[in-house]
Amino acid sequence: MDLPQMLADVRALVTCESPSDDRAAVARSAEAVAGIGHRLLGAHPQLIVIDGRTHLRWRFGDGPPRVLLLGHHDTVWPIGSLAHTPYGIDGEILRGPGCFDMKAGVVQALHAVASLPDRRGVTVLITGDEELGSPTSRELIEKEAVGCAAALVLEGSADGGALKTERKGVSLYRVRVTGRASHAGLEPEAGVNSTVELAHQVLAVRAVADAALGTTVVPTRMAAGTTTNTVPALGEFAVDVRARTALEQERVDAALRALTPVLPGARIEIEGGPNRPPLEATASDALYLRAVAIDGELDRAAVGGASDGNFTAGVGTPTLDGLGAVGGGAHAAGEHVVVAEIPRRAALVAALTAELLAGSAVHP
């Protein structure tokens, strides 16, 4: 692997800012990724634009796809972030907005595929809306993953370079309460206070969590009322759910939909549901063992955050995540990548891909 060229490519992507909600910026970033990929792979990607969001796909060979390399080029960083969080290398540490999550991983994926003597059966998919929850790319990801022997996800590693062999599923909800307005000073008893009902429901929602199973059910943003002297008629709060198994995700969904009002006259509506299925350890075990056979120093980790690897595992494709950059600080001012690990991880991805192309099916 050519480290100076890899660093130049990382710099090109990091300095091309690409916040997910800026479609024009994401399109410019896609062109930058396409240029690097064309130089390395000798092929232009297919640019797939869905609702103004730009994704890139390379497919090699005429036969069925066997290995999907998956990543994203959008970031959480707004335009102008480079002014206060500039790209730079200090000793063995590379810094810059989006370097760890996950522009270095995109570069590693492209260089890994470029090093393969035979790319037939490989698909590279780099999406442009992962940080938004992949609203336009989910169907694309799932279609590309179905039938593959493996999906290799180039998201950043867990602490210390560990591979991510388990990710919690994510469910997102909105609990809406309808009460009845009245004057807070003259006749509060004539109203049905949505704020009070929200308080009851927040406690009920919180009780659905199961710490022993790692299931978190967290009420987050809440709003109610119109003026300070009016009994509030309307209110709502959001709920973030993380669960390790599909069974737990289903249990929580049923519990939230069974919520009933406490105050007479109040009504409750539940919106939302599962957003990403869990990436369970069974989807990663066999691939992790193959990776360890290539690089015996690899650890494994279970993490709460979700990725597009949740989708590939959800359609039954063996999935290994965290194969991208080694570093940390995602979404924060301290975001960084360990320089020496960039070519090493690319070489691991190349070796694992080559083995999967040549070998037998992966069995969970």
Q: For strand 234-243 and strand 169-178, is the pairing parallel, antiparallel, or unpaired?
A: antiparallel
Picking from 204, 193, 277, 271, the residue whose alpha carbon sits closest to that of residue 238 is 271
pLDDT at 296: 83
Q: What is the pLDDT of residue 86?
A: 95
Which fold would CATH assign to domain 3-168+278-358?
Answer: Aminopeptidase (3.40.630)
Predicted pLDDT at 364? 52
Within the chain, all domains assigned CATH 3.40.630.10 are found at 3-168+278-358
Query: Does 362 score more than 70 pLDDT?
Result: no
Report in angstroms the alpha-carbon separations of 303 from 75, 289, 361. 20, 19, 26
* CA-to-CA separations, 36 to 10, 40, 45, 90, 107, in angstroms, rounded: 10, 6, 10, 24, 8
* % of the chain exceeding 90 in pLDDT: 94
Tell me what the mean pLDDT of segment 206-220 comes to: 97
Distance between CA 97 and CA 332 in Å, rounded? 8
pLDDT tens-digit profile of 328-359?
A: 999 998 999 999 999 999 999 999 999 999 97
- Please state, as a whole number, how many other Cβ atoms lie within 10 Å of the Cβ of residue 269: 11
Q: In angstroms, what CA-CA distances link 169 with 93, 204, 221, 284, 306?
A: 32, 21, 20, 15, 7
pTM as predicted:
0.88
Q: What is the mean pLDDT of residues 114-143?
A: 96
Q: What is the structure's pLDDT at 304? A: 84
Strands 53-59 and 216-224: unpaired
What percent of the chain is modeled with pLDDT above 70? 99
Q: Which residues contact 312 (CB under 8 A, 6 or more apart)?
A: 68, 70, 141, 142, 145, 148, 151, 153, 319
CB-based contacts of 174: which residues, under 8 Å, 6+ apart? 236, 237, 238, 239, 270, 271, 272
What are the DSSP E strand ranges found in 9-60?
46-50, 53-59
* Nearest CA-CA partner of 311 in 180, 127, 161, 162: 127
| pLDDT surpassing 80 at residue 115 | yes
Query: Taking 80 as the threshold, does the pLDDT of residue 363 lie above it?
Result: no
Determine the Cα–Cα distance for residues 164 and 155; give it in Å rounded to an integer.
9
| CATH code linked to domain 169-276 | 3.30.70.360
Q: Where in the chain is the domain with CATH 3.30.70.360?
A: 169-276
Which residue(s) pair with 82 in the sheet? none
